[in-house]
Amino acid sequence: MATDPCLFCRIARGEIPAQIVYETPHVMAFRDIAPQAPYHVIIIPRDHVATLNDTRDPGLVGRLAIAASELAEREGFAAAGYRTVINTNADGGQTVFHLHLHLLAGRKMGWPPG
């Protein structure tokens, strides 16, 4: 419903515009509004799950990773490499509480992450 406070649920429903780059029945991906790399997309399950702590469904979690590798292949950076990140809760730096996987590419990533 329109009053749902979850930002990514609202994007999934098309209530908030996003640059969608990938869609399946269960998963979608869109450009991050504040990209941290030349290529930075957010991959989400369409159904609301707040954090990685809130699911034990290997299919749900696996689909996020498979979406990342499919995008990497499609966009041509699979061989060069990329970074996938799931931030969880305060110490992980999570700011949007709808489970999502960051896919970053287009530059050499640093390690350890900040």
Positions in the binding site for Zn ion (CB under 5 A): 6, 8-9, 48, 98
Q: Which of 21, 27, 29, 42 binds ligand AMP (CB under 6 A)?
A: 42
Closest to ligand AMP by CB, 18 or 28? 18
- Alpha-carbon distance values, 6 to 1, 37, 53, 58, 82 (Å): 10, 25, 17, 23, 28
Least distance from C-beta 104 to ligand AMP, angstroms? 10
Q: Does 1 bind ligand AMP (CB under 6 A)?
A: no
Question: 3-class SS at 91?
Answer: helix
Least distance from C-beta 79 to ligand AMP, angstroms? 25
| Annotated catalytic residue, options 40, 48, 100, 102 | 100
**Rg (the chain; Cα; Å):** 14
Instruction: Give strand pairing partners of 44.
Output: 28
Active site residue 26: no
Closest to ligand AMP by CB, 34 or 79? 34
DSSP assignment of 64-89 equals: HHHHHHHHHHHHT-TTT--EEE---H
Q: Does 18 bind ligand AMP (CB under 6 A)?
A: yes
Stretch that binds ligand AMP, among 48-56, 63-71, 86-94, 104-112 (CB under 6 A): 86-94
Q: Which two tokens stand for residue 34?
A: 């504040």
